[in-house]
Amino acid sequence: MTTRDITFPAADGHPMRAALAVPSDDARHPGVIVIHEIFGLNDDIRRITGMIADLGYTALAPDLYDGPGTRLICIARTLMTLMRGEGEAFKDLDAARKFLQHQPGVDPTRTGVIGFCMGGGFALMFAVRAPLGAVATFYGDVPKTPEQLRGVCPVLGGFGADDRIFAPQGRRLEKLLSEMGIEHDVKIYDGAGHSFMSHNSGVLASIGKMSPMHAGYDPKAADDSWKRIELFFARHLGK
């Protein structure tokens, strides 16, 4: 699937960079927002956005770092927004949702979100506040209380058992959703670490491999996760 770079109106009106991938047929499809890792909107997120479109969804990956200031300032501001649970990044995600729903061939009544690492935390919290049909969160932050998840749609989750930072959060997500009676599918993958679905490279990726997160692509966990995504989104969003 071809993924192309576009811009859309952010919450404050400025043109925000994004990647868009559209299914090849002429049918009416649901939309899925793709939220990037801490590395930002890179070629790997573009690859993932294309894979979502291959499953039958119009996929939009906004660049949450495309704001005023230097890249470091944008990263810090985005992370602070996630920690606070409110701020411009959530407003930009809602702007992305509205833009996606108005794209040709998109059914505006069927929208989901998927996120990875930092984006996994955003996806989960965005699904609490936005009218979405399904959320998929992979190795991202998880709230500590059920009140913070109140109103969330059905949740798919994936975490690596070797990820000492986020695996406990995956277990907490399973516990919270079970207690709340929210439909969910959360899986902890033995032998996998952080970012097991991503093909990251560079200095930060190398540091991640040596960190307590044991970050790195794991084909077995990734393949199983894509099968689960396909089934979960089909059940809750259709195609």
Tokens 């890792």 belong to residue: 37
Q: What angle do CA 23, 104, 88 make, to 5 degrees?
A: 95
Q: What is the CATH number of the domain that holds 198?
A: 3.40.50.1820
pLDDT band at 1 (very low <50, low <70, confident <90, very high): low
Question: Which structural domain range is residue 42 located in?
Answer: 3-237
pLDDT per position as a tens digit, 181-191: 999 999 999 99
How would you list the strands of the sheet with 106-116, edge to edge?
A: 3-9, 15-21, 58-62, 29-35, 106-116, 134-138, 155-160, 184-189
pLDDT band at 68 (very low <50, low <70, confident <90, very high): confident
Q: What percent of the chain clears pLDDT 90, i.e. is strictly above it?
A: 87
Residue 198 has pLDDT above 80, yes or no: yes
Residue 202 has pLDDT above 80, yes or no: no
pLDDT per position as a tens digit, 88-122: 999 999 999 999 999 999 999 999 999 999 999 99
Q: Is the dihedral of CA 139, 56, 44, 189 positive or negative?
A: positive
pLDDT per position as a tens digit, 19-66: 999 998 988 999 999 999 999 999 999 999 999 999 999 999 999 999
pLDDT per position as a tens digit, 151-183: 999 999 999 999 999 999 999 999 999 999 999
Residue 135 has pLDDT above 90, yes or no: yes
Tokens 């790997």 belong to residue: 44
Residue 24: φ, ψ to 5°:
-80, -15
The total number of structural domains that make up the chain: 1
